[in-house]
A and B are shown apart, each in its own frame.
Chain A
Amino acid sequence: MKKSKFSLLLVLTLVFSLFLSACSGSKDTSGDKEKGESASNVKQEIKMLDTSEIPTMDTSLAEGSTSFTYIANVGEGLYRLNKDHKPAPALADGKPKISEDKKVFTFKLREAKWSNGDPVTAEDFVFAWQRAIDPNTASPYGPYMMNGKIKGANEITEAGAANKEYDLNTLGIKALDEKTLEVTLEQPFVYWEDLFAFPTFYPQNKKFVEEKGKAYASNAGNLLYNGPFKLTKWEGTAATDWVLEKNEDYWDAKNVKLEKISVNVVKDSNSAVNAFEAGETDMTGLLSSDIVPEYEGDDRMVSWLEPTVFWLKMNQQNKALKNVNIRKAIAQGFNKKDLASSILNNGSIPANYFVPKDFVEFDGKDFREKNGDLIKYDVKAAKEAWEKGLKELGVDKLEIRYLGGDTEAAKKTDSYMKNQLEKNLPGLTVKLESVPFSVRLERDNSQDYDLQFAGWGPDYGDAISFTDLWLTGGGSNRMDYSNPKYDELVKKAQTEYATKPKENWEAQQEAEKIMLEDAGVAPVYQRAANILLNPNVKGLAIYNYGPDYGFKWVEVKGE
């Protein structure tokens, strides 16, 4: 007993001294014990952290960026986003032949193999696309990406929902022969290359998928690969670690330098940073914003501006918010600059627009260059509009509900917004409702909110992925915004100007102006992303939509 008493004391002393040392501990994070990597003959391997498990590796079912990221690195479609974030022909052997009316695309496929040795054929594309649109699959992204774009998609979805018969062969995709694919669009559009680079449109090996049945894509062995890498370890969706290795049978394997990527899931941002500092990983997932200032100016932090914009949706089913002056007052009534610099403090910038910066360009010019700031923080203008609006409504005070998130970060932002609005707009009471994401989505669907703090990230590189949100009755509008002039411009951009880049561009810029003159939505900020990356890891492609990263061109350099 004596012995256990002493060892116990020892443990307690240790624990206790830890506690004390923590109180006086200095905040020195520059661990310098991980310098000893061999400079010569550098291993082409990286270790990285992700913040989530892979929800699915089935291209037909994938709906989130984690899935898209790994699918895009172990698979390939007609196109692939290249190093410079531009779609470039991949399985397509060069650009397709495009019909006069720009609706029919004929692709020649290059010689490429699945990891079981089968050739990748046109039939594999037909199978995968039909599977993604098939109501039996109940895919979220299949119909979302195809409806209104690929011929016949919408009809299949509608028939499926109404329990009517449908014919998958009516979908606008045909295998003319083993290596020739014909795709028919519903109507022409300019960003078709982005679509064909998107994981939902990747091919699947029919024989393999049918043979595996329900087990398809359930783990590394129940998948086939045709991309730069293969999953050599992945035990399924519950797995928190997996390994990608170079696919020697990939048609462009000679340009792939990286041999191995080992991934581990770490959900806590602080833990990820600790792992990075301890040399356990070369790359972290996205950092939470409280960590970012610590690494300001550190060359190990990589930062970029995402094309994701956050805004206050103003539901016009609310009588007060139907009033344009009230909306203008709200949209101009909060200081976004202070929000971005002191509350978010992670490189995010105030947004005076809803089509993001550094997202699309035409003629070498960014969308924002001409359209600039459309609705800014302006207390005076806000107050004036507020007075006018109240008068028009015949009231002297208003209570408005504000639907926001329930995370710590969201609550911080939301209480700041409440403060600003109540301070700048006398007589306004903002009632905060902090709810989980799933509840916010549901209440967005049923339009059960007054103000809603929401954001949007695009799925393809065209401003239309933002402008079509606010079409009258549009699927994502859900706030009763409606302006015939806006509708006309956006519809024109989608049809008449679909293949005329200049007119298309101008129509969408005009549309954005109109929408913000109406103060249809109150833009807040554009989000920045930050990760820690070992400076020896070069050539990581960071994407704006679809997959988060491309590893095809990554190379590990010596010190």
Chain B
Amino acid sequence: MGKYLAKRFLYMFITLFLIASLTFFLMKIIPGTPFASANKLSPAQMQIMKAKYDLDKPVPVQYVTYIGKMAKGDLGISFQFNNTPVSELMFKRLGPSAQLGFQAVFFGTLVGLVLGVFAALRQNTWVDYGATFLAVLGKSIPNFVFAGLLQYYVGVKLGWLPVLFWKGFEYTIMPTIALSMFPIAISARFMRTEMIDVLGTDYITLAKAKGASFFEIAFKHALRNALIPLVTVLGPLAVSMMTGSLVIEQIFAIPGLGEQFVKAVSVNDYPVIMGTTMLFAFLFVIVILVVDILYGIIDPRIRLSGGSK
């Protein structure tokens, strides 16, 4: 296990380095000026501004400088928010996004799971059709439509929940529901398919023959095995949800990362683009590792160190 982890960490480090390098050069290819007042700057001023951010140097030199600074934990300062350190911008925004993403994935998976399991157990009945219909809806209706409807009817018309902002738990309910439509749909579909597969296997027949109860079969034997593919999807899904949803954040005025990242790309705020990309990448590799470890726990047949290799 120790050896396995050491190897994985080394790979993670290399992956991150490659992502950083690739992003850096790709980002420099994006056309556009990072200066909001570019149409008002004289050539002399442009020269001064570029020098301030090292943009007057050749790209390879900028790259070496950036990687060197990043190794020391310095992510630079934002262009659009004059002189604000990128790390400060990012970490202030990560909290709300992470909370919202976590709640949405948690709630969504739970609902989707139940939906999928029951659909499988009651295959080709109204329960199955209803669940499938909902899953299709959840996947096909864009979440901004859903968010807009929730905001207008539940917030403005009925006044049950706060219309927008991020000031306490009740403020998180509507965005969570809106964001969870996708995880609900995904996990419901996955669970249904996998459960049906698993329920057809020999060991389930055996369990039935041994006289195990319906619920025992469904939840003790079938569910655990059916979970494996879901875990594979859920890890990356959780990361992408926890790093912010542009649309949901805009509609509910949530101070999250998603909006900030998209804006940074569109205004060529290089340090913020790099910082946020690296944060996403870091979370991804960590989650992938966690998922691999989880496999072993859920299904003892999967061995981490790869046996006799």
Contacts and interface: CB of A to CB of B under 8 A. Distances in A.
Interface of A: 1, 4-5, 8, 11-12, 15-16, 18-19, 21-22, 25, 31, 33, 53, 55-56, 58, 61, 63-64, 135, 138, 140-141, 143-144, 147, 157-158, 160-162, 214, 218, 235-241, 264-268, 270-271, 274-275, 277-278, 280, 435-439, 441-445, 454, 475-476, 478
A481 to B, nearest CB: 15
B81 A56 contact: yes
Contacts of B118: 5
A441 B111 contact: no
B49 interface: yes
Contact of B84 (A18, A238, A265): A238
Contacts of A161: 43-45, 47-48
Given A271-B164, A274-B155, A236 B34 contact: no
A21 B93 CA distance: 35
Nearest to B93: A238
A278 B159 contact: yes
A19 B115 contact: no
B49 A138 contact: yes
B164 A441 contact: no
Contacts of A270: 148, 251
B252 interface: yes
Given A8-B114, A55-B82, A438-B266, A267 B253 contact: yes
Contact of A278 (B45, B163, B177, B267): B163
B32 A439 contact: yes
Contact of B156 (A18, A19, A55, A274): A274
A144 B83 contact: no
B89 interface: yes
A140 B40 contact: yes
Q: What 9 pairs across the A-B complex have the smallest Cβ distances?
A: A438-B32, A237-B81, A161-B44, A138-B52, A439-B32, A240-B255, A442-B33, A56-B82, A161-B47
A147 B42 contact: yes
A476 B39 contact: yes
21 contacts: A8-B111, A15-B177, A19-B137, A25-B153, A64-B36, A135-B48, A138-B52, A144-B37, A160-B44, A160-B48, A236-B92, A238-B88, A238-B255, A265-B253, A275-B163, A278-B163, A436-B266, A437-B266, A441-B39, A445-B38, A476-B39
Contacts of B48: 135, 138, 143, 157, 160-161
Nearest to A4: B114
Given A18-B149, A265-B253, A143 B81 contact: no
Interface residues of B, number: 67
B103 interface: no
Interface of B: 31-49, 51-52, 78, 80-84, 88-89, 92-93, 111, 114-115, 118, 134, 137, 141, 146, 148-157, 159, 162-166, 177, 215, 250-253, 255, 259-260, 266-268
Contacts, number: 186
A278 B42 contact: no
B165 to A, nearest CB: 6
A277 to B, nearest CB: 5
A55 B80 contact: yes
Contact of A266 (B34, B52, B253): B253
Given A140-B45, A277-B156, A271 B38 contact: no
A268 B144 CA distance: 11
Given A25-B153, A64-B36, A240-B253, A280 B266 contact: no
Contacts of B157: 31
Contacts of A275: 163-164, 253
A157 B266 contact: no
A239 B166 CA distance: 12
B285 to A, nearest CB: 26
B164 A280 contact: yes
A1 B215 contact: yes
Contacts of A135: 48
